[in-house]
């Protein structure tokens, strides 16, 4: 599988004041997929503009023709499988079958308690995700669903007419732990990672590559449990959270070197953040566009 280059466009712009233009430009530049974060707010952007993921992707679907679209990532923090399934089925229809659902267990932060709940422990998150994802799979593939779980239930749910993509839109499952890896192997059409968060502040790029190699090996073992060939699973690296920070986006050569090292680990898709001035994702616009058009050709 050849290396794909995608982008993530944070939902910080009013649609008619630059928002639409970014998604259309992403299509023009030839990105494979344009994702957005599915949060209610996020880190340093908390006190600024931040729009909802599903409405943003719906608007992007009507403003583009070929570009795949997706979340990176949705989580149970403020979602329920029943309502999410209906929104995803609708978005898949509106986009003509161009949607990928990036999904994970979620983490601590502003979304974690936004609905007034107590913060969940890591075990709580893993337990809930382990129930959330299988139910969502059923809701998007079966015509009628009744299910009663510990945290998530469905009563006489109807999935009509179903997704344009069959049997359902693809899942890109974010995971680093053993339980998440097994869910990715069982339900995912792709696996997503940001690297080892413990290395972000004090690690080296070499340590990060070693850690990612270990994650890919763990994914392979999880796939073997379910009789899956790991080469058929798209492996996605969301750039920006490894010790390299934004250095790979300083030049085309720097990015080609970064992407080549991670392609050699087995990654099939690298996602880079659309530039946002005065933020952690500030990048030279001209260099960013050159990377999007030249780097993939150099990588072959």
Domains along the chain? 4-299 (3.20.20.30)
Cα separation, 122 vs 211, in Å, equals 21
Run of H or E including 219: helix 205-225
User: Can you tell me the mean pLDDT for 48-62?
Assistant: 98
The residue to which tokens 């890109």 are assigned:
172
- At 164-186, the pLDDT tens digits run 999 999 999 999 999 999 999 99
- At 37-54, the pLDDT tens digits run 999 999 999 999 999 999
Q: How far is CA 195 from CA 108, 118, 208, in A?
A: 17, 28, 7
Task: Locate all alpha helices (DSSP H) within 72-168, ordered by sequence.
Answer: 81-95, 122-141
Cα separation, 135 vs 269, in Å, equals 27
Is pTM beyond 0.85? Reply is yes
Looking only at the bridges linking them, the beta strands covering 171-174 and 190-193 are parallel
pLDDT, residue 296, reads 84
Is pLDDT at 1 greater than 80 in this prediction?
no
Q: What is the CA radius of gyration of the chain?
A: 19
Instruction: Look at residues 295, 205, 285 and name the one whose alpha carbon lies nearest to residue 256.
Output: 295
Is pLDDT at 5 greater than 80 in this prediction?
yes
User: Can you tell me the mean pLDDT for 241-249?
Assistant: 94
The DSSP symbol for 40 reads S
Q: Could you tell me what percent of the chain has a pLDDT over 70?
A: 100
Find out whether the peptide bond into 293 is cis, omega within 30 degrees of 0. Answer: no
Cα separation, 258 vs 212, in Å, equals 13
Cα separation, 213 vs 210, in Å, equals 5
CA 286 from chain centre, in angstroms, equals 25
- At 73-109, the pLDDT tens digits run 999 999 999 999 999 999 999 999 999 999 999 998 8
136 close to 85: Cβ distance less than 8 angstroms: yes
Q: What are residue 145's DSSP bridge partners?
A: 157
pLDDT, residue 293, reads 93
Angle between helical axes of 53-63 and 19-29 (0-180°, round to 10): 60
Cα separation, 172 vs 175, in Å, equals 10
At 111, the pLDDT band (50, 70, 90 cuts) reads confident
Cα separation, 102 vs 187, in Å, equals 12
Beta-strand runs (E) in the chain: 4-8, 33-36, 68-74, 99-103, 144-147, 154-158, 171-174, 190-193, 234-238, 269-273
Cα end-to-end span (Å), the chain? 11
pLDDT, residue 2, reads 81
- At 202-238, the pLDDT tens digits run 999 999 999 999 999 999 999 999 999 999 899 999 9
The residue to which tokens 């073997």 are assigned:
224
User: Can you tell me the mean pLDDT for 242-251?
Assistant: 94
């Amino acid at each position: 599988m050849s290396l794909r280059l995608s982008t993530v466009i944070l939902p910080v712009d009013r649609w008619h004041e630059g928002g639409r233009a970014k998604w259309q430009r992403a299509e023009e530049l030839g990105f494979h997929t344009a994702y957005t974060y599915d949060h209610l707010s996020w880190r340093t952007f908390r006190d600024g503009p931040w729009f909802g993921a599903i409405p943003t992707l719906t608007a992007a679907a009507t403003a583009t023709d070929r570009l795949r679209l997706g979340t990176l990532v949705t989580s149970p923090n403020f979602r329920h499988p029943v309502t999410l399934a209906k929104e995803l089925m609708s978005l898949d229809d509106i986009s003509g079958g161009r949607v990928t659902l990036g999904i994970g267990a979620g983490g601590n932060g502003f979304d974690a308690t936004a609905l007034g709940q107590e913060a969940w422990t890591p075990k709580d998150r893993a337990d809930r995700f382990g129930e959330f994802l299988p139910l969502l799979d059923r809701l998007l593939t079966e015509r009628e669903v009744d299910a009663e779980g510990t945290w998530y239930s469905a009563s006489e749910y109807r999935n009509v007419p179903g997704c344009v993509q069959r049997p359902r839109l693809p899942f890109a499952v974010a995971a680093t732990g053993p339980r998440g890896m097994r869910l990715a192997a069982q339900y995912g059409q792709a696996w997503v990672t940001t690297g080892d968060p413990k290395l972000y502040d004090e690690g080296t790029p070499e340590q990060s590559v070693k850690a990612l190699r270990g994650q890919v090996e763990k994914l392979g073992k999880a796939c073997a449990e379910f009789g899956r060939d790991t080469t058929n699973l798209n492996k996605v690296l969301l750039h920006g959270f490894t010790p390299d920070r934004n250095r790979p986006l300083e030049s085309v050569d720097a990015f080609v070197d970064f992407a080549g090292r991670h392609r050699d680990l087995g990654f099939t898709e690298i996602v880079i953040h659309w530039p946002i001035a005065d933020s952690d994702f500030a990048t030279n616009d001209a260099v960013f566009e050159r990377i999007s058009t030249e780097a993939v050709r150099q990588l072959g």
